[in-house]
Amino acid sequence: MPTTVSVHKNVETVRRGYQAFNAADLKTLAGLFHEDASWHVPGRSTISGDYKGRDAVFAFFGRLGQETGGTLQARLLHLLADEDGRVAAVQHDTAQRGGKRLIVDSCIVFEFKNGLVISGTEYIRDLHAFEEFWS
């Protein structure tokens, strides 16, 4: 079972990850993700699915930036940690793409291995709006 110190470190890792993601700082992000990391995006949009391995996750992140012309921002609203070391991040997402505008709230549940992100699972509050944006 994780200690209070490791849970606190996981929260700080997620906080740093948001700062790095929004600044497109891949060097910092690389230091926060395990090489075997995975990422899950719900739904049936063009970006939905499972990404396995840090390289695939980062390629996905790069695609988000490319397809939105760098406009995607994930504004962190809340961080919650459990006794198992998982961290849930509640965020407000905005972006522009092809004349469309994305404005949704979402949550990502992060899991950790050896202090690094090993998985991220997204939950989208308005999945229909999300899918319409990415269609």
Residue 40 CB contacts under 8 Å (≥ 6 apart), including other chains: 49, 50, 51, 119, 120, 121, 122
Name the pLDDT band for 2 (thresholds 50, 70, 90). Answer: low
pLDDT score, position 99 = 96
Angle at 102 between CA 96 and CA 107, to 5 degrees: 130
Q: Please give the Cα distance from 18 to 80 (Å, whole number).
A: 14
Q: Are 88 and 108 in contact (CB under 8 A)?
A: yes
Beta carbons of 120 and 109 less than 8 angstroms apart: yes
* pLDDT tens for each residue of 3-45: 676 778 999 999 999 999 999 999 999 999 999 999 999 999 9
Sign of torsion over alpha carbons 62, 64, 67, 71: negative
Per-residue pLDDT tens over the stretch 30-85 = 999 999 999 999 999 999 999 999 999 999 999 999 999 999 999 999 999 998 99
Report pTM: 0.93
Show the domains of the chain with their CATH numbers. Answer: 4-134 (3.10.450.50)
**How much is the average pLDDT of 89-93?**
98
CB of 133 closer than 8 Å to CB of 102: yes
Using DSSP bridges, classify how beta strands 49-52 and 100-113 pair: parallel, antiparallel or unpaired: unpaired
